[in-house]
Copies of this chain bind each other. A is one copy, B any other.
Amino acid sequence: MTSPILTSLTELHREVAQLADGRVATYIPELAKANPDWFGICLATPNGAVYEVGDTAIPFTIQSISKPFVYGIALEDNGRASVLEKVGVEPTGDAFNSISLEPGSGRPRNPMINAGAIATTGLVAAQSPTHRSQRIRETLGRYAGRELAFDEAVYESENETGHRNRAIGHMLRNFGILESDPTAVVETYFRQCSISVTCRDLAIMAATLANRGIHPVTGRQALRGEYVESVLSVMETCGMYDSAGRWVYEIGMPAKSGVAGGILAVLPGQVGIGVFSPPLDAQGNSVRGIRACRDLSRYLDLHLLNHPSTGRQAIRRRLAGSEFGSNRLRTTQERNLLRERGNALQLYQLQGHLSFSTSEVVIGDLLDRVPNLRHLIIDFKRVLSVEESACYLIHQLLLRFREQGITTLFTHSQHLPLLGRYLRRKFGDSIGLWFQIFPDNDRALEWCEDQLLQLDNVPQSTPDHITATEFELFHGLSETQIDVVQSKLRHRPFQKGETLVEIGALADELFLLEDGQVSVLLGGPSGAESRLATFSRGMHFGEMALLDRAPRSARVVADTDGACRILTRQDFEQLGREHPEALLGVLRNLCIGFSSRLRKANAERAALD
């Protein structure tokens, strides 16, 4: 099935292809050979999806579209302040080949005009001119996700005729903006302009900028994240030469065009666009390229300043301990206490990108709950990234919470190294005092529940020897009945880590837990096991498979050393024949246990919805 996105691109391509205005650039003789009918449009997303129509595989030279990428290298090599000393960031209102040096300093007004671009090329660190060209070619290849080559014919052609750019080079040397041989720098500039790309390459390079400098497919970093906004800024205000205001107003995406007919546009975080069509307008921009960008912006709502508000999206779900619990099975008394006190325990599942504005929503929501809060679990599983500003806010929150006696637990936070580094830097060796890290919500909930229960001194440890009436399965049975059932039980000690029940095994045993603790584990899709339930002494397990005779659906593993008593199916059936009233009591208790677990499951499912 064709994607509707591709269909809409195809329609747009057909419509814009009818534009016959503009002329192919001739000032570099090689460029004049281009076919004016060539026309390609390509969209690429930060997730790696690519949509392309028309001539998206024809190679052409990148020309001025190289400028923002080389500016990125200069920023990485020298830092923002040093680069600003040599090249400004103000739009000129002049044409692309204007010299536009600031009176006095000779500083070019911005890196998108030729003078600024040549100065920028001179800022790329290198041992030799060849090394400099190679570094530029390799870096642009990292954006494109493939090795790029120089088009030697275009390079030679431009090198022979580029007198104006040579003049600019000497002017820059005169003002000390270039500190070495201007001839070599200008030649490197010609080389960078002669890098051969396709329309598809442009879209992917744009998507890499949209994805904070990281290639959507290879995952390689082409530009440090902190400089992406600077590169996009100069594209936004100076990328389209003398119509920056109109471009922002109508199209609203940072963009750059080249005289070979390419245009590259970026909607940060969302999409990268490449268009290729050689005929140019009077300003040197591709006629069809500009029209395609304008239509895309309008039909796909791509204007940078057209942003819906963040909303409360950062909070995926909020659960209170009164409505949701760990998978540790609790006694009736414990369950009632947790229902009563559970509001002091809140679980926040966050999602998406934690920026200032999304964190603000989370923090506002949390602060409303502080008066009743004792334990807070923050689940970062669905958080995609954390900005430094969000780290700051989380740090401040942890400081305040500890002061108020609120304990904070993080779960699923290991994929956010920036957050970890930030908090280690702030807290140092005492980091463990400020928050705790748990592998999953279930264990974190259990820990908090234990804390809440200890508040009332519910005994957590029990005497050494279990009495028969402690078994839930024997509630309400007479002493004689209990004796009858007990006579059929087999003793089975176990060691910590031992598997008591295997998935898929045929089920013919019911377990009564005499001592220790066991967990029922279910394999997750990723291979990691999650806990379905934890049983402690007096409880029973294994009854489901015994009754419906289906193979075991989960694994049971001992969390501690301990022992259980086992009732086999054979004995179970025999009990029914010999002492039906004893089995009646047992079945009734099984039903009560089922009923209570089903009530919990239903209530929690409602909370999850």
Contacts and interface: CB of A to CB of B under 8 A. Distances in A.
B5 A360 contact: yes
Contacts of A370: 1
B400 A532 contact: no
Contact of A93 (B47, B93, B267, B598): B93
Contacts of A244: 90-91, 237
Given A233-B248, A580-B581, A309 B389 contact: no
Contact of A356 (B237, B271, B363, B396): B271
A543 B311 CA distance: 44
B245 A544 contact: no
Contacts of A576: 581, 584
Contacts of A229: 252, 303, 305-306
Interface stretch (A122-130, A430-438, A600-608): A600-608
Contacts of A47: 309-312, 361, 364
* Residue among A232, A309, A389, A548 with max Cβ neighbours from chain B (10 Å): A309
B245 A110 contact: yes
Nearest to A306: B229
A307 B594 contact: no
A139 interface: no
Contact of A605 (B356, B543, B544, B604): B604
Contacts of A608: 605, 608
Contacts of A363: 3-5
Contacts of A22: none
Contacts of A592: 547-548
Contact of A228 (B234, B306, B609): B306
A351 interface: yes
Contacts of A584: 576, 580, 583-584, 587
A46 interface: yes
A545 to B, nearest CB: 8
A36 B224 CA distance: 41
A208 to B, nearest CB: 11
A228 B606 CA distance: 40
Contact of A396 (B4, B234, B393): B4
A477 interface: no
A330 interface: no
Contact of A305 (B49, B236, B397, B404): B236
Contacts of A210: 307, 309
A246 B598 contact: no
A469 interface: no
B357 A598 contact: no
Interface stretch (A56-64, A338-346, A380-388, A443-451): A380-388
A591 B540 CA distance: 14
Interface stretch (A188-196, A294-302, A482-490, A495-503): A294-302
B300 A90 contact: no
A591 B88 CA distance: 78
Interface of A: 1-5, 7-8, 45-47, 49, 88-91, 93, 110, 210-212, 228-230, 232-234, 236-238, 243-246, 248-249, 252, 254, 267-271, 299-313, 316, 351-353, 355-357, 360-361, 363-364, 367, 370, 384-385, 387-389, 392-393, 396-397, 400, 404, 522, 524, 530, 532, 543-544, 547-548, 553, 576, 580-581, 583-584, 587-588, 590-592, 594-599, 601-602, 604-606, 608-609
27 contacts: A1-B370, A1-B404, A4-B363, A4-B397, A8-B393, A45-B357, A46-B309, A49-B360, A89-B245, A89-B246, A89-B248, A90-B246, A233-B305, A234-B249, A269-B307, A271-B360, A299-B392, A308-B355, A311-B384, A524-B606, A543-B591, A547-B588, A548-B596, A587-B590, A587-B591, A594-B594, A601-B605
